Structure 1
């Protein structure tokens, strides 16, 4: 024991001396950055919430790509913008900023809802692709304190969320700003020099293009040194000013130079280390090398158990990330099933919520979040602090893989089952309630499961659960009354 204490004291002294004499723990190279270790709080948390809400929310009929799409003549937003606001040269994206006033935004109300939903980490989109910072930025005059709502959204949410014991998240999408607006097009307000601080520097036409009705990008030329400098300074402002526990990055960061990407990660990791903060940085492949941060998948999931913790970001709506008049939300059952599936594969779910432009979270979204929270209150022991079992599950439904694959996924069926463990306890989570009244679990048959099952509990139910273990499956007799409306958790006790 004394030897162990000496080792721990030596390590602590070494780290302290590094900071005392100005030596950083992380250097700006991939080998040093691969020291990153995902903290236990993230492994335990499983469920988080973030929001897509900003200037792009104002039109109410579009998407978070509105700033790009409204200038593309092949996109419906081009004509709808003209009809609603006027010609793009007279009324551009910058003119939507004064309309983003957020009179009903209440950070405490949002945070209370996130807690009620059962989230363990939460936060806003700090800056999307449109170049509008939702904090008191010193390098960007187009920010929520100087313009629009005249409030520091990132700060207000940081205080409210931390006050309730949740970890704080900020998402950053601002690498997309390079070429987001058609600064070469003299028929729009984007080409005017006086608007360059929002729209960016003037680029050749080849830097911005469209295909059918969807925007895509030819990154030519690559970002300038001045763009990279401002991009990095924005990250530093968020890290220094708000100390997020999780810093989330959208894709397309690979357009930035390797040196800038390395400098950003080293800065964020060292800042967290100096505060003794257990910090998570997530990224989408291939923006950073594996092992230098935590992998995030957009509307997508791992097909099986992944050895390291990972994250899925998806939205409460199948179609959109932001609120609009015709927004349709996923049924609560789908959201809970997705959470269970992701957790069984060693992942976390980051669920996007789409507030109204005025800052209120609509009732249909509140309802789904509260229903998720109600389910987690009953069944959370199989989710929070859980770890994967030997296999993630069984059943006929195969989840699709690939970027945005979940948009083509219709959900799970009655035969799909997922497994988790916690402190040595095995949980089988049925994603349906078979009409036959018998739930067969093939993975726990007497021929496949190396253990004798002694007792089964259905979490939330007072009924005694009958079962038999056959050569083909563990057959569970379902009680007459369901303990909840959605996924059903069976606690399997065995020798």
Structure 2
């Protein structure tokens, strides 16, 4: 259904499972054993690729062990050389505690990464509208959610510096998106209806912003766009 709508399909995969007995055994052994990687993570990753043929494999949960434990090199070598998606698949950089912001089709570096300057490697700002959580919170306070203005600023800064943006909202246990998330996303959509020409398909210009940081620039097909946020 995703591809039928003309969209790219990817999946998020958490490498670790804190309470999986195999993972607990490996962690207790200081990751000198690889039971969880061998019998859970690696087979599952390959099955997901072979069955669903994703365009993006977005790994996470890598921070407790390095890429040797996760056997990331072996998986990525297979993914890019022998898998059914080898011609077009894209991956991020969360494949081991030693690899974040070092290796990957695009770098995420850390949650809510927004350097504010042009980067030498393609990158992504994985951020949340809820400033405190990636999931749904019943006790969230209004001031703990990004305002529409702040969301637009984050989008513009990210795109001006050559980044992708991943905007997370946490659904309820029933799978519903709460009104404040709906409002923020709809507001952003309205802004893009008017200003999207400066965002979609754009590339960074020779300067990313003005001297005081309230105007950010993008470029496309010989046109420079100045996006004033003041």
TM-score by length of 1: 0.42
8 Å contact 1:253–1:287 — kept in the other structure? no
CA distance in 2, matches of 1:380, 1:199: 48
User: Compared with structure 1, are the counterparts of its residues 369 and 421 closer, same or farther at alpha carbon in structure 2 (3 Å cutoff)?
Assistant: same
CA distance in 1, matches of 2:45, 2:146: 33
Could you tell me which residue of structure 2 aligns to residue 338 of structure 1?
154
CA distance in 1, matches of 2:128, 2:37: 29
User: How big is the shift at 1:352?
Assistant: 0.8
User: Compared with structure 1, are the counterparts of its residues 257 and 423 closer, same or farther at alpha carbon in structure 2 (3 Å cutoff)?
Assistant: same
User: How big is the shift at 1:286?
Assistant: 3.4
CA distance in 1, matches of 2:32, 2:182: 40
TM-score by length of 2: 0.86
User: How big is the shift at 1:336?
Assistant: 1.2
User: Compared with structure 1, are the counterparts of its residues 359 and 276 closer, same or farther at alpha carbon in structure 2 (3 Å cutoff)?
Assistant: same
**Greater CA radius of gyration, 1 or 2?**
1
Could you tell me which residue of structure 2 aligns to residue 226 of structure 1?
35
User: Compared with structure 1, are the counterparts of its residues 394 and 239 closer, same or farther at alpha carbon in structure 2 (3 Å cutoff)?
Assistant: same
1:428 aligns with 2:226: yes
Could you tell me which residue of structure 2 aligns to residue 301 of structure 1?
114
User: When the two structures are aligned, how many residues end up with a matched partner?
Assistant: 222
CA distance in 1, matches of 2:149, 2:182: 15
8 Å contact 1:254–1:287 — kept in the other structure? no
1:200 aligns with 2:51: no
Could you tell me which residue of structure 2 aligns to residue 64 of structure 1?
none
Which contiguous aligned blocks of 4+ residues in structure 1 show a shift greater than 3 angstroms? 198-204, 274-277, 288-292
Cα deviation, 1:35-55, whole Å, max 9, x if unaligned, reads xxxxxxxxxxxxxxxxxxxxx
Partner of 1:354: helix, strand, or coil? coil
Partner of 1:317: helix, strand, or coil? coil
Could you tell me which residue of structure 2 aligns to residue 67 of structure 1?
none
Could you tell me which residue of structure 1 aligns to residue 13 of structure 2?
172
Structure 2, unaligned runs of 5 or more = none
Could you tell me which residue of structure 2 aligns to residue 255 of structure 1?
66
Higher RCO structure (Cα 8 Å, ≥6 apart): 1
CA distance in 1, matches of 2:85, 2:24: 40
8 Å contact 1:355–1:362 — kept in the other structure? yes
Partner of 2:92: helix, strand, or coil? strand
Structure 1, unaligned runs of 5 or more = 1-158, 182-197, 208-218, 398-415, 433-495
